[in-house]
């Protein structure tokens, strides 16, 4: 693996901050991360943001095939060069924004192992996309800014627990794999990173419409996290008033004076059930219709 700074300089390229380009420059660390993904020779691997190939090379040596989705068209030549150098021919590079990429089209009828040192500015959106497409994912080994990784795994009750934590913990188990210090990247980012393993649950309480509604309820609850739940749910995109939100909370056995960060996933599902039973799941759409 060529040092990222050298590769970029050779092509007179600068790392693009807006694409979260902090390239892993330590081959040992890269190999260690990929090994944690326990890729087998039958696996299809999806890599998000391969950059200059730090993880790609190791993944390709272990997998049946790697599909790597990279937004920055400038890097294609450099990445292909690195793969050729390592004698690798089982990587398909797709130049696209991962947020626009159809994952079904990549997976077809296989389940994928997903890896990625995620661009920090879209990490949460990528994770939400993986949740939506989790039927296609065997497991995911992903690198985040350490602070975000802590938020994802945070238990209810503290400041770190938020919308992303509740959604992820509803449908998966999260395990910390390792920490990666900032000096192992080029250019060096301001903060350290953390690799986590996300294993999606085989069964979840809801699916389809009802699950989408749960995610909406969680979003609404955290939209004004300093307020009591009675007030944050009312006036949110759920389109309900305070007496309806109080009734739903009470029906779910939740004190309406509690705040979003104190509710565990079970309680969010109970609340969703209560709102659903009261026929509140379509309130915002009904209001939008009336406004038209
Ligand atoms: N995997 C490489 C590594 O570990 O050195 C690069 C990691 S770097 C933190 C993030 C990579 O994601 C960059 O190559 C960047 O260009 C790419 N990227 C940024 N936004 C993207 C998007 N929306 N879709 C796909 N790739 C993206």
The answer, yes or no, to whether any atom of ligand 1 lies below 6 A from the CB of 101, is no
292 — pLDDT class (breaks 50, 70, 90): very low
> 122 in ligand 1 pocket by Cβ < 6 Å?
yes
**What pLDDT does 291 receive?**
47
Which is it for strands 193-200 and 137-145: parallel, antiparallel or unpaired? antiparallel
Q: pLDDT (tens digit, 9 = 90+) per residue, 148-162?
A: 999 999 999 999 999
pLDDT band at 280 (very low <50, low <70, confident <90, very high): confident
Q: For residue range 91-149, what is the model confidence (pLDDT) as tens digits?
A: 999 999 999 999 999 999 999 999 999 999 999 999 999 999 999 999 999 999 999 99
214 ligand 1 Cβ < 6 A = no
Say if residue 288's pLDDT is above 60.
no
Distance of alpha carbon 238 from alpha carbon 287, whole angstroms: 10
Mean pLDDT of the chain: 95
Closest CA to ligand 1's atom 12: 49
| Average pLDDT value for residue range 188-198 | 97
51 in contact with ligand 1, CB cutoff 6 A = yes
Residue 216 has pLDDT above 70, yes or no: yes
Q: Is 99 in the pocket of ligand 1 (CB under 6 A)?
A: yes
| Residue 75: both structure tokens together | 């890097």
CA 115 to chain centre: 11
Asked whether 53 lines ligand 1 (CB < 6 A), one says: no
DSSP, residue by residue, the chain: ---HHHHHHHTT----GGGT--EE--HHHHHHHHHHT---TT-EEEEE--TTSHHHHHHHHHSSEEEEEES-GGGHHHHHHHHHHTT---EEEEES-TTT--HHHHHTTS-EEEEEE--GGGHHHHHHHHHHTGGGEEEEEEEEEHHHHHHHHPPTTSTT--HHHHHHHHHEEEEEEEEE-GGGEESPPSS-EEEEEEEE-S--S--HHHHHHHHHHHHHHHHTTTS-HHHHHBTSTT-B-HHHHHHHHHHTT--TTS-GGG--HHHHHHHHHHHHHTT-TTHHHHHHHHH-
User: Alpha-carbon distance 262 to 57, whole Å?
Assistant: 43
Residues 40-67: tens digit of each pLDDT: 999 999 999 999 999 999 999 999 999 9
| Ligand 1 pocket mutation, candidates 4, 32, 59, 71, criterion most atoms within 8 A of CB | 71
Distance (Å) from CA 167 to ligand 1 centroid: 24
Residue to mutate, 19, 27, 80, 190, ligand 1, most ligand atoms under 8 Å from C-beta: 19
The response to whether residue 79 sits with its C-beta less than 6 Å from ligand 1 reads no
Domains of the chain, CATH where assigned: 4-200 (3.40.50.150), 208-291 (1.10.8.100)
């Amino acid at each position: 693996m060529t040092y990222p700074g050298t590769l970029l300089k050779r092509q007179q390229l600068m790392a693009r901050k807006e694409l979260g380009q902090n390239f892993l420059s330590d081959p040992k660390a890269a190999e260690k991360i990929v090994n944690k993904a326990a890729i087998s020779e039958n696996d299809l691997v999806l890599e998000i943001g391969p950059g200059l190939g730090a993880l790609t090379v190791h993944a390709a040596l272990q997998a049946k095939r790697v599909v790597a989705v990279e937004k920055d068209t400038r890097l294609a030549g450099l990445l292909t060069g690195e793969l050729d150098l390592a004698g690798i021919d089982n990587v398909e590079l797709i130049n696209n924004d991962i947020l626009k990429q159809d994952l079904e089209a990549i997976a077809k009828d296989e389940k994928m192992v997903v890896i990625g040192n995620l661009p920090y500015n879209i990490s949460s959106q990528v994770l939400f996309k993986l949740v939506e497409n989790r039927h296609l994912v065997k497991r995911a080994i992903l690198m985040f800014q350490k602070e975000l990784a802590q938020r994802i795994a945070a238990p209810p009750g503290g400041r770190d627990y938020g919308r992303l934590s509740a959604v992820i913990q509803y449908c998966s188990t999260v395990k910390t794999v390792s920490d990666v210090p900032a000096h192992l990247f080029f250019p060096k980012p301001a903060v350290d990173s953390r690799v986590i393993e996300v294993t999606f649950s085989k069964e979840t309480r809801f699916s389809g419409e009802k699950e989408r509604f749960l995610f909406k309820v969680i979003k609404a609850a955290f939209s004004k996290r300093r307020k009591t739940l009675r007030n944050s749910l009312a006036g949110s995109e759920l389109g309900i008033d305070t007496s309806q939100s109080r009734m739903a909370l009470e029906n779910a056995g939740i004190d309406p004076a509690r705040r979003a960060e104190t509710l565990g996933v079970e309680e969010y599902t109970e609340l969703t059930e209560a709102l659903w039973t009261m026929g509140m799941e379509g309130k915002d759409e009904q209001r939008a219709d009336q406004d038209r």
